[in-house]
Chains A and B, each alone.
Chain A
Amino acid sequence: MNQEIKSTTSSETTVWDVLHLSGSPHIPSSLKVPHAWLLLGPTGSGKRATALAMAAAFTCPDLPGVGCGVCSTCTRIISGRHPDLHLIAPEGQVISVDAIRVGVIPEAARSPFEGRRKVFVIEEAERMHPSAQNALLKTLEEPPEGTIIILVCDREDELLETVSSRCRVVHFQRVPCEAIQAILEAEAAETPVARLAARIADGDINRARAFALEPEAQSRHRSFAGVPARLTSSLEALDAAAEIVTEAATAVKGRSEAQKQEVVDLAVALGEGRGTASARASLAKRHKRELRRLENEVLNEALWTIGSWYRDVLAARRSAPDAIANLDLKADVVRWAAASEPDDGLLVAAIHRCAVTPGALARNANPSLAIEAALVDLARLAPPPPESPTMD
Chain B
Amino acid sequence: MKFRCERDDLLGAVQFASRAISNRATLPVLSGLRIEANETGSVGVAATDLELTMQTALQAGVDEPGLGVVPGRLFNEIVRNLGSGQVSLASGEGEIEIASGRGHFRVRTLMPDDYPALPVEEGTPDSISVEMDSGVLAGSLAQVVRSASSDESRQVLTGVLWEIEPGRLTLAATDSYRLAVSEIEVEGGPGEVVKVILPARALAELGRALQGTGGRVRTLVRENLVTFFLTTGGQEGSGGESVIASRFIEGEFPNYRRLLPEGYPNALTVDRESLLETVKRVGLLAQNNLPVKLRLAGELEVSAHTPDVGEGQEVMDAEYRGESFVIAFNPQFLHDGASALRTKRVVLEAGDGLKPALLKGEDESTFTYLLMPVRLS
Binding site for B on A (CB under 8 A): 72, 75-76, 79, 81-83, 86, 101-103, 105-106, 109-114, 116, 144-146, 265, 268-271, 273, 275-276, 278-279, 282
Contact = CB atoms under 8 A, between A and B. Distances in A.
B88 interface: no
Interface stretch (B110-118, B292-300, B333-341): B110-118
Given A116-B224, A268-B74, A86 B26 contact: yes
Contacts of A82: 116
Contacts of B223: 111, 116
B152 A276 contact: no
Contacts, number: 85
A112 to B, nearest CB: 6
Contacts of B199: 110
Contacts of A265: 28
A114 B116 contact: yes
Contacts of A275: 23
A111 B77 contact: no
A114 B28 CA distance: 17
B225 interface: yes
A83 B224 CA distance: 14
Interface in B39-78: 50-51, 71-74, 76-77
A275 B247 CA distance: 23
A111 B73 contact: no
Given A110-B199, A114-B116, A271-B74, A279 B158 contact: no
B193 interface: no
Nearest to A147: B250
A282 B24 contact: yes
A279 B23 contact: yes
Nearest to B110: A269
Given A76-B114, A109-B251, A273-B73, 10 more contacts: A82-B116, A83-B27, A83-B116, A101-B152, A105-B153, A145-B250, A269-B28, A269-B31, A269-B32, A270-B31
B31 A113 contact: no
B250 A278 contact: no
B148 interface: no
Given A144-B251, A271-B77, A273-B73, A106 B116 contact: no
Interface of B: 23-29, 31-32, 50-51, 71-74, 76-77, 113-114, 116-117, 119, 152-153, 155-156, 158, 199, 223-225, 247-251
A111 B152 contact: no
Contacts of A145: 250
A136 to B, nearest CB: 12
Contacts of A81: 27-29, 114
9 contacts: A72-B113, A110-B50, A110-B248, A110-B249, A111-B224, A111-B225, A270-B23, A271-B73, A275-B23
Given A82-B116, A83-B50, A109 B73 contact: no
A109 B72 contact: no
State the 10 A-B residue pairs at the shortest beta-carbon distance, nearest first.
A271-B73, A109-B155, A111-B224, A269-B31, A144-B250, A111-B248, A83-B116, A110-B247, A111-B247, A81-B114
B226 to A, nearest CB: 10
Contacts of A114: 116-117, 119
Contacts of B225: 111
A271 B28 CA distance: 14
A282 B152 CA distance: 20
A211 B291 CA distance: 66
B127 to A, nearest CB: 14
Q: Give the one of B23, B24, B28, B158 with max A CB within 10 A.
A: B23
Contacts of A276: 23
A278 B23 contact: yes
Nearest to A101: B152
A102 B26 CA distance: 11
A106 B247 contact: no
Contacts of A278: 23-24
B49 to A, nearest CB: 10
Contact of B249 (A86, A103, A109, A116): A109
A116 B248 CA distance: 13
A144 B224 CA distance: 13
B330 to A, nearest CB: 25
Contacts of B114: 76, 79, 81
B285 to A, nearest CB: 33
Given A81-B29, A83-B50, A271-B73, A105 B152 contact: yes
A106 B27 CA distance: 16
Contacts of A273: 73
A50 to B, nearest CB: 22
